[in-house]
Homo-oligomer: A and B are copies of this chain.
Amino acid sequence: MSKIHEALAPISWLEGRWSTTDGRGYYPNIPDFTYHEDLEFLCIGQPMYNFLSTSRHPEKQTPMHQERGFLRIKPGTNELSFVVSHNFGLTSLEEGLCETETHQVILETVNLSRISFAKPPFVKKIKRVFKLLSDDQLEATLYMETDTTPMSEHLKAVYKKIQ
């Protein structure tokens, strides 16, 4: 376990490496699918988490969606900012809050920027919720709006903490 900066105390429960025990995806007009995902929220001494996500096809193990970024907290508050790069060619700036009692992190996009040669449909908004289910069990839910689909639940996954 990395040494966590004191600013991260309200979200100290998020620290570590997490791996899906169950990852499911669904969205209007695409077939349901399952996936394997590894998450990292690691602190190297700065007042933030370094974030990595790599998802893979559950049988073929080929890489699928990836995200890389940083999760910051405004010191002395429960306000969060998440700067994320997505491998399909998107930057997302997400802001939100952490709920200490329920151990939840709730984030919504305030800015999205897409590379010039990205493929449609275009993502317009993302909302995500991380919820601690038990000391070593995390749940993530991701909602997405595109230019052709209103905000809809897209991903739901449960992770186990791994060392």
Contacts and interface: CB of A to CB of B under 8 A. Distances in A.
Interface of A: 44-46, 48, 50-52, 54, 62-63, 66, 68-70, 72, 74, 79, 81, 83-87, 89-93, 95, 110-111, 113-117
22 contacts: A46-B66, A46-B87, A52-B68, A66-B70, A68-B68, A68-B69, A68-B85, A69-B85, A70-B86, A70-B89, A72-B115, A83-B89, A83-B90, A83-B91, A83-B115, A91-B92, A91-B111, A91-B113, A93-B113, A93-B114, A110-B113, A111-B111
Given A68-B70, A83-B86, A85-B85, A116 B91 contact: no
Please state the number of chain copies in the assembly: 2
Contacts of A66: 46, 50, 70
A91 B93 contact: yes
A17 to B, nearest CB: 16
